[in-house]
Amino acid sequence: MNNSYFTPLPGRLVETNGTEMFVTEAGRGPAVLLIHGLGWSHALWHRVIAKLSGSYRVIAADTRGHASSAKPAGPYTMEQLTDDWAGILEACKVDRLAIVGVSQGGMIAMTLASREPDRVAALGLLGTASHFPEAAWARMQERGNVLREMGPRAAAEHTSRSVFSAKFALQHPAFLADFVENRLSASAPALGAATASLQGFDIRDRVSKVRCPVLIMHGTADGVIAHDSTAETSSVLPQAQTVLVEDAGHILPVESANLVETHLSRFLHANHCKPIGTAEAL
């Protein structure tokens, strides 16, 4: 493991929805939008970008309040974050696309796809859910309690224990140390504002508008959103295929990078426009 998951890629600032967001692009072909999770950045996708950019136009960005994007006062809402990402599509002149999101990014992806179902050709959902359960929100509040009572480092270490599986933590202690340092460098007010968007999130009554193929991937050792939430999500997305990753935690692009890359590549090839280099390329 290395710290590439925290190292920014070249990009630019894009004005969207009254704020500025950092955007990076690579490759050409059918568009694929990658949306990271709470507390991360576009760099979470560095391996996925490298894998897909040979065949697709891959676009990733930093969500409002994160990394190199603007950090206006909060709290933020899920609809507001979705508006931000929709603005990126307009700024990048994207018509039809596939969207892949992890955790909070998956919630943004579902919200965007339910708004514009004819625009989204395929949807990848990693470690996320169609609503944020009360138990998961209680765990988020516990993080806040640790921050207030024990300080930022203790809170970052507490977070690392929830987002990564025990198995991964034992195998990669240096990576977890890098994660903690990266989390300490983040803006606490902005992270809190982004966290607020999770409370009460529930798109179950709207996500049925999504008609495209869906890939759901979830770790069985996810300590943030229990893996049994996949059954509920797939029940409102009957066209979804589900892949459970044994013993993996919440952040699958880190813990199960090879598996994520393999399944995403196959899924996009089958359900998005055929990548360049194939006889059916558009």
pLDDT digits (tens, 9 = 90+) for 257-271: 999 999 999 999 999
CA 258 to chain centre: 17
Between the CA of residue 253 and those of 102, 111, 137, 210, 239, what are the distances in Å? Answer: 8, 21, 23, 24, 23
pLDDT number for residue 249: 97
First to last CA, the chain: 37
pLDDT number for residue 79: 97
Q: Contact, 113 vs 212, CB < 8 A?
A: yes
Q: Percentage of residues in the chain with pLDDT exceeding 90?
A: 87
User: Which residues, 6+ apart, have CB-to-CB distance to 162 below 8 Å?
Assistant: 139, 143, 223, 224, 250
Give the predicted TM-score (pTM) of the model.
0.95
User: In this predicted model, what pLDDT tens digit does every residue of 57-90 receive, in sequence order?
Assistant: 999 999 999 999 999 999 999 999 999 999 999 9
With a cut of 50, say whether residue 136 has pLDDT above it. yes
Report the distance separating Cα 196 and Cα 41, nearest Å.
Answer: 18
pLDDT number for residue 148: 86
Q: Tell which wins on pLDDT, 1 or 151.
A: 151
* Preceding amide of 75 cis, omega within 30: yes
What is the full DSSP assignment across 260-280? HHHHHHHHHHHHSSPPTTSTT
Average pLDDT over residues 9-21: 97
The arrangement of strands across the sheet holding 57-61 comes to 12-16, 19-26, 57-61, 31-35, 97-102, 120-126, 214-219, 240-245
User: Which residues, 6+ apart, have CB-to-CB distance to 276 below 8 Å?
Assistant: 28, 29, 55
User: In this predicted model, what pLDDT tens digit does every residue of 159-213 receive, in sequence order?
Assistant: 999 999 999 999 999 999 999 999 999 999 999 999 999 999 999 999 989 999 9
Give the dihedral sign, CA 40/268/54/82. negative
Average pLDDT over residues 111-125: 97
